[in-house]
Structure 1
Amino acid sequence: MSGLELPRLLLLTDRSQLPLGRSLVALVEECIDAGLTHVVVRELDETPLGRAALVAALTEAGATVISAHTPLYGAAGVHLPADPAAVAPPDLPWGRSCHAAAEVHLAAAAGASWVTLSPFAATESKPGHAAIAREEFRAAAAAGVPVYALGGITPDNAADAIGAGADGLAVMGSVMRAADPAAIVRALLDVVEEAPW
């Protein structure tokens, strides 16, 4: 994986979901203080320069940063969209968003270092998308690549995601929208630490 050590918990950013007046960098810093180590920077409406500045700020805060969709200066890896036409970077570890076990197998065969499989549960971030069947996680496990459950992940269902076969948790909305994001991260890390890996 070209030196990128994968955690059991990934935080994906989306500043559009933040409560009014809250800073994305400050939120992530709180989460790092709570034990978070890895962040996927999305903010796809930002300029590449603005996104690179965010990568730098979060790296300075102590996070290992992965950029979404395209490589960014300072990022340790790239998380590609589900579109199979999205080209993997030749010199960075990369993952891909997947929505079915068959997509996970294709990503693994193409060299992905990890994948997200979503949505695990109903999510405010993507209303109207039905949760995928738990069997998809079991079928995805045979691909031999770490699979993160994404979509509607909360401390209340995190253990269910792990029980379904996920290798880790990827969370966005429940942390971005939280009054106390650090508390959500701590609760998710507690679930991760207690899981029978």
Structure 2
Amino acid sequence: MVTPRLIVFTDRRQAARPLDEVVNRAIDGGARVFVLREDDLPAAERAELAARLGAMVAGAGGRLVLEEGPELRKCHGLADLVGAAEDGVDLATLSPIYPTRSKPGYGPPLGLAGLGRMALAVSIPVYALGGVDSPARVRDCLDQGAAGVAVMGAVMRADDPARFVKELLTA
């Protein structure tokens, strides 16, 4: 898998408009890697959504990854990152870096210092997740050694997902 600078996680419940439209507009802004969450959907409905969004993303030269797929690991500390690296995953998210409205129950934010220490301790690309809601925060995460950022709520809730994604990628 090519190492992208931005990964967009889906969450139709937070989306300000239909999920297909949010994903399409995020693609217009330059996003090329998406992670399908939506694990509360019945299997057949989730499979149909994955096929539809996957075709949309692939048509733009991107990739849709299933949240539970083998390419990605969601980590909340150094032990999780080390395990992901040992398992040979393609990339890992580390969260939460900042306070976040989307996932408030994962303990205190790790902060930029925690991100820097942990991202540099493993050989796989680590993506900052949680509260990355501005270009300034993207730059701060990259400065600490993150391979990129992963965003969910801020893209899902954006008035203009294309513009917001473009701003994040420009950072």
TM-score (norm 1): 0.78
Candidates 64, 75, 82, aligned match of 1:105: 82
| CA offset digits 1:29-68 (Å, max 9, x no partner) | 0111111111000001012222221221122213410001
1:86 maps to none
1:126 maps to 103
Aligned pairs for 1:23-172 within 5 A: 23-61=18-56, 62=59, 63-69=62-68, 78=69, 93-127=70-104, 129-140=107-118, 141-155=120-134, 156-172=136-152
Give the aligned residue type for 2:63.
T
In structure 1, what is the Cα distance between the partners aligned to 2:116 and 2:137? 17
* Residue ranges of structure 2 left out of the alignment (5+ in a row): none
In structure 1, what is the Cα distance between the partners aligned to 2:6 and 2:121? 21
Give the aligned residue type for 1:167.
A
In structure 2, what is the Cα distance between the partners aligned to 1:50 and 1:159? 37
By how many angstroms is 1:134 displaced? 2.9
In structure 1, what is the Cα distance between the partners aligned to 2:158 and 2:99? 17
In structure 2, what is the Cα distance between the partners aligned to 1:60 and 1:102? 35
Corresponding residue SS for 1:157: helix
8 Å contact kept, 2:14–2:157: yes
Greater RCO, 1 or 2 (C-alpha within 8 Å, sep 6+): 2
Deviates more, 1:178-187 or 1:123-132: 123-132
In structure 2, what is the Cα distance between the partners aligned to 1:170 and 1:115? 10
Identity %: 40
Give the aligned residue type for 2:98.
A
Q: What is the aligned-residue RMSD (CA, Å)?
A: 1.5
* Number of corresponding residues: 164
Give the aligned residue type for 2:145.
G
8 Å contact kept, 2:22–2:161: yes
Corresponding residue SS for 1:123: coil
TM-score (norm 2): 0.89
Give the aligned residue type for 2:127.
Y
| CA offset digits 1:3-49 (Å, max 9, x no partner) | x2231110000011122xx2101110011111111100000101222
Q: Which runs of 4+ in 1 moved over 4 A?
A: none
Structure richer in helix, relative to its length: 2
8 Å contact kept, 1:101–1:136: no
8 Å contact kept, 1:101–1:137: no
- Using a 3 Å threshold, how does the CA distance of structure 1 residues 54 and 6 change in structure 2: closer, same or farther? farther
